[in-house]
Amino acid sequence: TCSFSRSPKGFPKLKNDTFLRAARGEETEHTPVWCMRQAGRYLPEFRETRAAQDFFATCRSPKLCCELTLQPLRRFPLDAAIIFSDILVVPQALGMEVVMVPSKGPTFTEPLKEVEDLLKLRQKVDVTAELGYVFQAITLTRHSLEGRVPLIGFSGAPWTLMSYMIEGGGSSTMAKAKSWLYRHPEASHQLLRLLADVITDYLVGQVAAGAQALQLFESHAGHLGPEQFQDFALPYIRDIAQAVKSKLKEEALPLVPMIIFAKDAHYALRDLAHAGYEVVGLDWTVRAQEARAQTGKDVTLQGNLDPCALYAPKEKIGELVKKMLEAFGTQRYIANLGHGLYPDMNPEHVGAFVEAVHAHSRHINKH
């Protein structure tokens, strides 16, 4: 249960630190595993908890976020929890209105159309005032986990958030957002810089609240080619890692491991490995051997089973997991899917995935 009864600090002692050890490149008895979107609509209890609530109202309720974060851990022996929230809380903190439209997804009531629209955004954001509800959710969840597993905090990366703010929602081409990069490069950098600064403060605030690792989601990296990624995504990804780390030091907060997940940015793996993150997340389109060759020995890899593999029969899931572990090796590796779980997935198949990672990695480590 999620109750505010305990003191805000004095968190319970961590019992399973396998995920953190793997992230830092230390040896582990088994390969740790968690899933993107593990707190999600594939769980009937999630749908029940969320049923009566507006999506963003749920995000603003620390109690509900805590409950949703814990649900998958009651079912599966996952090695990490990730706080239930959404990447679009950052544009909201900048003053934009985002609503969740049924069967359409997140929608901005007034997306950015012209360069002048940047003036409507808050230029200085007090993250505690605007996003304090996420910090409260993290603190509450960290206590409620009772040290079972580490808690991951996260944010969207600047380009991904910028693309939503201009497109006004999802898009298959990102043509409006990309046209800004070509037509208004200076204004694009101005917006990306503003986002990077807010994200930095937001991530530091999450650690202060109790997050034990951080993931930056550059979910729309695949819409950029190598050159635009180099100009408009990578510099901000690098800056965020550096700025978060120096602020954590300044504020005497724990230096938590950071994960960069840039979906479909296979062309940038080498750069991402040197961007200041302990872990590089991979989508399912990347071969394990190539990823290892590109990223070298100093980062941990995370990923990358095709989420749709979970539609396969359970025995088949086990075989695919074994192949994946043999390809990546069991050390300096965190097992995950190559993207989030889909709403129509069978929870038992998620369980089969998690258990297969533990069983096969233990077996490989013994022999």
Catalytic residues: 37, 41, 50, 86, 164
Euclidean distance between CA atoms 244 and 219, whole angstroms: 20
Find, among 289, 265, 269, the residue nearest to 280 by Cα. Answer: 269
Quote the tokens at residue 305. 């089973």
Q: Quickly tell me which residue has 């079972």 as its tokens.
A: 148
Asked whether the beta carbons of 345 and 21 are under 8 A apart, the reply is: no
Euclidean distance between CA atoms 13 and 197, whole angstroms: 32
Find, among 30, 151, 21, 158, the residue nearest to 91 by Cα. Answer: 158
DSSP letter for each residue of 179-196: HHHHH-HHHHHHHHHHHH
Quote the tokens at residue 10. 């004095």
Cis, bond preceding 304 (omega within 30 deg of 0): yes
Phi, psi of 239 (to 5 degrees): -60, -40
Asked whether the beta carbons of 255 and 213 are under 8 A apart, the reply is: no
Q: Identify the three-state secondary structure at position 256.
A: coil
Quote the tokens at residue 18. 């396998």
Find, among 278, 168, 180, the residue nearest to 231 by Cα. Answer: 180
Q: Which helix (H) or strand (E) holds 217?
A: strand 213-218
User: Residue 306 contacts by C-beta under 8 Å, 6 or more apart in sequence?
Assistant: 284, 337, 338
DSSP 274: T
Return the number of other C-beta atoms located less than 10 Å from residue 51's C-beta: 7
Half-sphere exposure of 183 (CA within 13 A, CB side): 9
